[in-house]
Amino acid sequence: MSKTDVEDVPNDDPYALKNAPYLKPSKDYKYKEKVLVFANRGITNLGRQLLNDLKSLLPHHKAESKWEKRVSYAEINEICEISSCSSVVFIESKKNEMILWVAKSPYGPTLKARITNIHTLKDSTFFGNCLARSRPLLTFDKSFSELPHLKLIQTLFTQVFGTPNNHPKSMPFHDHCLSFFYLDNHIYMRHYQISPENEFSINNPDRQMLTEIGPQFALEVILLLNGSFNGITLWRNPNYLSPIVVSSTALNTLHKQMRKYKMNAEAERYKKRQKFKDVSPHVPAQVVSDETRRKGRERRSSIQRKCLCSSINRLTFVPFTLYTFYLLYSMAHTTKENRDVYYRKAKEDGYRARSAYKLLQIFKAHGIFYPLVDSNEAKAIILNHKCVFQGSRSVQCTSIGRIRNVIDLCAAPGSWSQLVRNLVNYDYLSFKTAVDSLDSGSICSRVRDYCNTKPVIVSIDLQEIAPINGVYTLKGDITDKKVLDQVRDLFVDNISKNIAKVSKDSNIEAGAQLITCDGAPDISGLHETDAFVQSALIRASLCVCCSILDANGTFVCKTFFNSTESPIFRQVSIFFDECTIFKPSASRMSSSEHFIVAKGFKPLGKLRAIKDPETSNFQENIPESLFLGPLMQCGDLSGYDKVIKLLE
């Protein structure tokens, strides 16, 4: 079409080419209305994508090469003047944050904000679209018209992000919208496409819909300056914290927590050391001599002095870095013990080892101590019982059938003794409270004496056991006659004299109702060898049962056999009505340990002294050899034969 043809078009035609407004030059248009969009060197990939998205939104932008970090901000104004730009959008990437600068050059104002929650067009899936270089509509929520600093930001964003009218690179229509929202001290930017709801609503502005097309980000305003990258601070965000302040605050908080934790830990250790004083119950003179008592007092005093000195010294806090704490924390929580829930629970509950929960699960599974009895239930048991006194071994009222005397063999470090002490004392206090609330004439005198008799718990081990409150600790061999004599003396001294008087039995001997053994030999790595040696330890424990355990008593011991056909299981089952093998869930799956739970002890006779199976001649005592011979001579020796075959 020639120039002459254009002029021949009628003037009243609105679609005439010569009447198109975008062909008419605007006298009000300023050619310096351009936006300089660039970033500094070292910007991240995410920041580079955001920079490209901002360029696509601003058809009147002008790019610039990357800016050196060492150059001052004032030189940006010179770059704007050279590039004929009146506005600046500058993205500065720092070590721990990304800063957005928006300014009007050369007179200001300037906005500095931290960019967060960035979602660019590449890393997000948006369903909308808009034509390139189309003019956007800018919308602001009502907060921008209420707060003074937001009014300034609204004016600044309008002049920077709004495409100038009649710009040569822009289209004469609007098909997308830039929306700014203010919430929780953050400015959120969203980009939407403007499209009609259907084909009949193209020219209806009330029937348009918005579809988000990205990018989107949030700005936390740091400050406003009245100049271009300099000048007086018009407004500063009081809630803004730089990454350095945040890290230093977190580190100081961590130091305070660690200091408090160390002080609490030292205080707990000191309290535990204080419990060493008078924690052990009264032990008769024939068990502990005066020399032993004197040494124990000196040892407790020295421990208390050392604990006090160490507590004072450790209260001084030594600074450490966050990385050092991370290493110590990660090392402490990657060990097998700290990953074990029962290990951590034992520390919280005050038990010396996680094995206490193995015994607890055994008790719950086989009804030993459980269900627990309170004072009301104990009162009902006492009123409904039948007082029966049978034989010289029945020194207590057998119709009640509660556990009062317990022996813990191979007890170190003492977690089983702690658990048994808690359960026995709870049961004892329940029955004692019930008896005190009843009239003296309503119950048998032997029952009253039985309920008022304090329980006796004895722990025996070759190693020295730290004192346990309410538990008698003995150091010795469980096959030694002297050790068992000490246990008998403890039981006799703590049994009510009224019961012994009523029984009219000069040979009365107090026994235990429960014997436990968690002992194990040093592991050699050969399962058959370890199981065979463990069987010898079980037989020694069984000899203690034959000597001290009362009729219908209970015996719990560890074994490395998991079959009821094993020789040691058959030997134990001879003496008990009910005998089972049980593996609690607290026992590790990788461990081959199981537990023999034997209930209903059947004494075939009294074993006055423990004999050594290697040196004793069992034919000398025919009655005892009838039932102890198969026990002491290893049964059918099948376990021993397996070991011999392995050695060959």
**Catalytic residue IDs:** 558
Phi-psi region at 634: left, alpha or beta (left = phi > 0; alpha = psi -120 to 50): left
User: And the tokens for 518?
Assistant: 């968690």
Helix H, strand E, coil C: the string for 102-153 is: EEECCCCCEEEEEEEEEECCCCCCCCCCCCCCEEEEEEECHHHHCCHHHHHH
Contact 617, 639 (CB under 8 A): no
The answer to whether 101 is a known ligand-binding residue is no
Q: What contacts 544, CB < 8 A, 6 or more positions away?
A: 407, 409, 478, 484, 515, 610
Cα angle value 397/398/404 (rounded, 5°): 80
The three-class DSSP label of residue 269 is helix
User: Which residues make beta-bridge pairs with 171?
Assistant: 134
Task: Tell me how far apart the alpha carbons of residues 46 and 126 are, in angstroms, rounded to a whole number.
Answer: 17
The answer to whether 477 is a known ligand-binding residue is yes
Measured CA to CA in angstroms, residue 241 lies from 163, 220, 232, 253 at distances of 34, 10, 20, 15
The answer to whether 518 is a known ligand-binding residue is yes
Helix H, strand E, coil C: the string for 6-68 is: HHCCCCCCCCCHHHCHHHCCCCCCCCCCCEEEEEECCCCHHHHHHHHHHHHHCCCEEECCCEC
Task: Tell me how far apart the alpha carbons of residues 442 and 295 are, in angstroms, rounded to a whole number.
Answer: 49
Task: Tell me how far apart the alpha carbons of residues 326 and 333 are, in angstroms, rounded to a whole number.
Answer: 11
User: And the tokens for 534?
Assistant: 């463990």
DSSP state, residue 635: T
* Residue 458 φ/ψ, nearest 5 degrees: -120, 130
Q: Binding site membership for S-adenosyl-L-methionine: which residues?
A: 414, 416, 461, 477, 518
Q: Binding site membership: which residues?
A: 414, 416, 461, 477, 518
